Amino acid sequence: MATKKTKQTETVNLIDTFQDFKEMKNIDKTTLVSVIEDSFRSVLQKTYGHDDNFNVIVNPDKGDFEIYQNRVVVPDDEVTNEATEISLSEARKVDDDYEVGEEVSQKINFSDFGRRTILTLRQTMAAKILELEHDNLYNKYKDKVGSIILAEVYQIWKRETLLIDADNNELLLPKTEQIPGDFFRKGETARAVVLRVDNLNNNPKIILSRTAPEFLERLLEQEVPEINEGLIAIRKIARIPGERAKVAVESFDDRIDPVGACVGVKGSRIHGIVRELHNENIDVINYTANPKLFIQRTLAPAHISAINLNEEDKKAEVYLQPDQVSLAIGKNGLNIKLASMLTGYTIDVYRDVDDNNEDIYLDEFKDEIEEWVIDAIKKVGFTTARQVLDAPREMLIQQADLEEDTVDDVLNVLRAEFDE
């Protein structure tokens, strides 16, 4: 009796497992039936050496299955393979009308296969279904790379945030892909762009981003109908997430001002995007294939006196009046940094001086000023002595991240040089 109870329990467990599988997400009924049938046939092949004379019937709506073994009736003393043949006397126990040469189809109680075989089948089915789920998830999201999705925040960790989509698929938003100032609460919805789909060992991981340029691009496409309609094209985007961004746009219709269309009346179109990006300032610029003009536009609001380009090295020397230097560089050097990112040129800013006024490169002062101090000043965009002297003292302290005494020492050395 114990053995019979065990067999019944195993059969119930197997049907329960099958019913669980038929509820699996993102798997169509036809594919599910095919996978489960293949799993059964795999066990039959291992048990009998083949599965040619078996019918496997899967009932997806009922959540169960049936297996029938088909055997040819042969005379009682001529059975050579019990898996494919049945004696006449055994066949007539099923039905008195059977004759030699006919085929007998008998239902098999799968629990008779034994506990180990049933466990193997459960594991095989689980592995195949899991593989199917992974394939479906990968195929679903590989075509969504670069697209915005809306998902629910499910779990928040130190290094990443777990989100769940409408089909309960898990999506990862790493901390490095979050905008400074992002703060999520469990249960709220968040927007992000699909950055990539990793698929190591057929275990797909969907990586999201809110810092990628594509996120800003998709937001603009949602807010500006002219972009979706193909009347305006986004040519380039440069971002320092949460701080500032520059977007180069071009219009294919002379009647449409691309900058005005993107910004909207009184900023109506851009304001929603700015809020989504935690007050990230967005400069929209008219794109041009003329590199000098493009650099000039990206350095706005500064007015450029002259530009010298080195096309081979992708370097630009930009000359400005002293009062325009700080505008070109921008707060914390963001304006010139974004201009370089957008144009692809390394931009060096120079103070526009009369030919009679000499100037000296900072590197000439290495005997009197420590090299790391010179490098810190150069990172801000100043490469000559007069550029530094013409810059506001507070600007040097803040943007070069130098102590006040250090800045004063530098200014004294440079003034002494020109006083002489």
Q: Region 362-385: what's the mean pLDDT?
A: 86
HSE on the CB side for 288, CA within 13 Å? Answer: 11
Residue 23 binned pLDDT confidence (cut-offs 50, 70, 90): low
Is 244 a domain residue?
Answer: yes
pLDDT over threshold 90, residue 170: yes
295-341: per-residue pLDDT in tens? 999 999 998 988 999 989 999 999 888 778 888 998 888 999 999 99
pLDDT over threshold 90, residue 189: yes
Pair 167, 94 in one domain = no
HSE on the CB side for 367, CA within 13 Å? Answer: 2
pLDDT for the residue 411: 92
Is 71 a domain residue?
Answer: yes
Contact 371, 393 (CB under 8 A): no
Pair 159, 117 in one domain = no
Measured in whole angstroms, how far is the alpha carbon of residue 276 from the centre of its chain?
Answer: 18
94-134: per-residue pLDDT in tens? 888 889 999 998 888 777 777 787 787 778 777 877 888 88
SS3 205: strand
% of the chain beyond a pLDDT of 70: 90
What six digits make up the tokens of 317? 């020397």
What six digits make up the tokens of 13? 């467990």
Contact 336, 377 (CB under 8 A): no
Residue-by-residue DSSP string for 371-382: HHHHHHHHHHT-
- The DSSP element (H or E) to which 158 belongs, if any, is none
Is 164 a domain residue?
Answer: yes
Q: Tell which of 254, 287, 320 closes a domain.
A: 287
Q: Phi, psi (5° rounding) for residue 293? A: -65, -35
Q: Phi, psi (5° rounding) for residue 111? A: -65, -20
Pair 17, 95 in one domain = yes
Q: Tell which of 287, 312, 346 closes a domain.
A: 287
pLDDT over threshold 90, residue 262: yes
60-76: per-residue pLDDT in tens? 666 677 888 899 999 98
Residue 50 binned pLDDT confidence (cut-offs 50, 70, 90): confident
State how many domains the chain has: 3
pLDDT for the residue 37: 83
Report the CATH number at residue 102.
Answer: 3.30.1480
Residue-range definition of the domain harbouring residue 58: 2-138
Q: Phi, psi (5° rounding) for residue 264? A: 85, 170
Is 108 a domain residue?
Answer: yes
Pair 31, 99 in one domain = yes
Burial class (CB in 10 A: 0-12, 13-18, 19+), 357: exposed
Per-chain mean pLDDT for the chain: 86
Pair 197, 239 in one domain = no
Q: Among residues 141, 150, 244, 227, which one has the least CA distance to residue 188? A: 150
pLDDT for the residue 17: 55
Pair 30, 90 in one domain = yes
